[in-house]
Amino acid sequence: KAGVTQTPRYLIKTRGQQVTLSCSPISGHRSVSWYQQTPGQGLQFLFEYFSETQRNKGNFPGRFSGRQFSNSRSEMNVSTLELGDSALYLCASSLQGIVDEQYFGPGTRLTVT
Amino acid sequence: GENVEQHPSTLSVQEGDSAVIKCTYSDSASNYFPWYKQELGKRPQLIIDIRSNVGEKKDQRIAVTLNKTAKHFSLHITETQPEDSAVYFCAAKGRFRNDYKLSFGAGTTVTVRA
């Protein structure tokens, strides 16, 4: 089975811009979760989508949003980028959701200048 | 919301010795506790998990123990090898407002000295 893929792998944006990241889960997985990884804050849960519906949400501002398509592919959007949004954004797919093994993608490295 | 604390932040052990990482959590309703290993430049991978109806789980050289009363769980790696060098994250599934989320500890960088 192909693993979780994320595009793009690297991205440089300017403050105030918006960005869309994409995640393709393992075939058959209906749950996609998004995480932000930074050296200071570690891994922080953004949200989880299951069957095209947001099922769980972490403690991030409304500038962070997402969606999931009928083929389980998911996108994450960050609007009005801030310097502090610079991070590695990881998505993970699983069969049942956050109580199941999370298979992580390689991540998208976002740099905001 | 759930708060997970992980100690120590760094751990250096001699090859063949044991390594122990401890995590505490705040939400008494948490019922799922996975451990992930992240090697340098790679994605996190699940190494072991435990659910609240079990006190201990073992998988070869790795074991996890859970004390629900004290709200802490630990990862034990025995007979450490150089390939065990990585960052280890604990996590707990807990409630956040009306949702659930997986809260991660800050990570422990384990270095196994040959």
Q: How far apart are CA A38 and CA A107, in angstroms?
A: 12
Q: Where are the beta strands (DSSP E) in B1-114?
A: 4-7, 10-14, 19-25, 32-38, 45-51, 56-59, 62-67, 72-77, 86-96, 99-104, 108-113
Q: How far apart are CA B103 and CA B20, in angstroms?
A: 20
For residue B36, the chain A residues in CB contact (below 8 A) are: 102
**Is a pLDDT exceeding 90 seen at residue B109?**
yes
State the Cα angle at A60 between B48 and A43, rounded to 5°.
Answer: 30
Please give the C-alpha separations between residue B101 and each of A7, A13, A56, B11, in angstroms, as whole numbers. 24, 28, 6, 28
What are B38-47's pLDDT values in tens digits?
999 899 999 9
For residue B43, the chain A residues in CB contact (below 8 A) are: 90, 104-107
**Is a pLDDT exceeding 80 seen at residue B33?**
yes
- At A59, the amino acid letter reads N
**What rounded mean pLDDT belongs to chain B?**
93
pLDDT score for A93: 96
Contact at CB, B101 and A105, closer than 8 angstroms: no
Point out the residues of chain A with pLDDT beneath 70.
1
- How do B45-51 and B56-59 pair as beta strands? unpaired
**Is a pLDDT exceeding 70 seen at residue B105?**
yes
Q: How far apart are CA B10 and CA B102, in angstroms?
A: 22
For residue B34, the chain A residues in CB contact (below 8 A) are: 101-102
Q: How far apart are CA B7 and CA B18, in angstroms?
A: 15
Q: What is the rounded average pLDDT of the residues B49-78?
A: 94
SS3 content of chain A, % helix, strand, coil (to 5): 5, 55, 45
Query: What whole-number percentage of chain B has pLDDT above 70?
Result: 99
What are B65-77's pLDDT values in tens digits?
999 999 999 999 9
Q: What is the rounded average pLDDT of the residues B91-101?
A: 82
Q: What is the rounded average pLDDT of the residues B15-20?
A: 98
pLDDT score for B1: 61
What are A36-55's pLDDT values in tens digits?
999 877 899 999 999 999 99
Q: Give the distance from residue A40's alpha carbon to the nearest chain B alpha carbon, in angstroms.
A: 8
Q: Give the distance from residue B81's alpha carbon to the nearest chain A alpha carbon, in angstroms.
A: 24
B76 touches chain A (CB under 8 A): no
